[in-house]
A and B are shown apart, each in its own frame.
Chain A
Amino acid sequence: EAQVTQNPRYLITVTGKKLTVTCSQNMNHEYMSWYRQDPGLGLRQIYYSMNVEVTDKGDVPEGYKVSRKEKRNFPLILESPSPNQTSLYFCASSFSGPRNEQYFGPGTRLTVT
């Protein structure tokens, strides 16, 4: 089944404790991206990747890192999480870029206390 998976689905952590949210797709997509969704603000793009080893900042990259060492995986790293990073995070992928249909993961709800 074609899908985007994210882990964990729910995470409660404390300020400053490094964490990684994994994202994997099995559709051989080139484009992958991360979004955060906050009430009243909609979805905002954090980082995106056009292909392996090619990443770029979206609208709200501060406090996040990403890597794209393999085509299927695009982990989101929070080196030192803060309470303002409490949010619902989505990973998405598409065949070749933002002009194509995006396939979204189920989301990761992160709480930083």
Chain B
Amino acid sequence: SQQGEEDPQALSIQEGENATMNCSYKTSINNLQWYRQNSGRGLVHLILIRSNEREKHSGRLRVTLDTSKKSSSLLITASRAADTASYFCATDMNSNSGYALNFGKGTSLLVTP
């Protein structure tokens, strides 16, 4: 079952603007990760945030995590055309038997010059 769900499904912005995408999940997690996928290619890891962290930064990326609301957001500041891609959140199950990693359906981001 897919644990994470991204919102919006698609987002179109202009270069220089900020892009925010959200992820909601259903059960307790250990970590939440964000990945980027350029069209048809393998996913690339962007950032990992642990369940006891609330915010994390990496370059132009800012991730927040609200475990009480079971949600996370990814902010890309000062977007560039090269940021055009699909973005996925991934969560691991917080249970003794859960070694699976669940991905959401993704947010498709288009950044136009």
Chain A residues close to B by CB (< 8 Å)? 4, 31, 33, 35, 40-45, 48, 50, 56, 58-59, 88, 90, 92, 97-107, 109
Q: A97-B92, A101-B33, A104-B42 are in contact. List 6 more A-B contacts (CB 8 A).
A: A43-B43, A50-B99, A92-B43, A98-B100, A103-B45, A104-B43
Flag the segment in B14-22, B63-71, B75-83, B101-109 that touches A.
B101-109
B1: A residues at CB distance < 8 A? 59
Closest Cβ neighbor of B29 among chain A residues: A99
Q: Which interface class (under 10, 10 to 19, 20 to 34, 35 or more) fits B?
A: 20 to 34
Total contacts A to B, CB within 8 angstroms? 68
Q: Is the C-beta of B28 less than 8 angstroms from some C-beta in chain A?
A: no
A40: B residues at CB distance < 8 A? 105
CB-CB contacts of B33-61 with A at 8 A, as 1s and 0s? 10100001111110010000000000000
B101: A residues at CB distance < 8 A? 33, 45, 48, 98, 102
Q: Which of these, B45, B93, B105, B106, contacts A102 with CB under 8 Å?
A: B45
B92: A residues at CB distance < 8 A? 97-99
Rounded to whole angstroms, the CA-CA distance of A97 and B33 in the bound complex is 13
**Cβ of A102 and Cβ of B100 under 8 Å apart?**
no
**Cβ of B99 and Cβ of A43 under 8 Å apart?**
no
**Cβ of A97 and Cβ of B99 under 8 Å apart?**
yes
**Cβ of A44 and Cβ of B48 under 8 Å apart?**
no
Rounded to whole angstroms, the CA-CA distance of A107 and B41 in the bound complex is 7
Q: Is the C-beta of B2 less than 8 angstroms from some C-beta in chain A?
A: yes
**Cβ of B40 and Cβ of A42 under 8 Å apart?**
no
List the 8 closest A-B pairs by CB distance, nearest first.
A42-B105, A104-B42, A98-B101, A98-B92, A43-B103, A101-B45, A104-B43, A99-B31
Q: Which of these, B42, B45, B99, B106, contacts A98 with CB under 8 Å?
A: B99
**Cβ of B100 and Cβ of A48 under 8 Å apart?**
yes
Rounded to whole angstroms, the CA-CA distance of A56 and B31 in the bound complex is 21
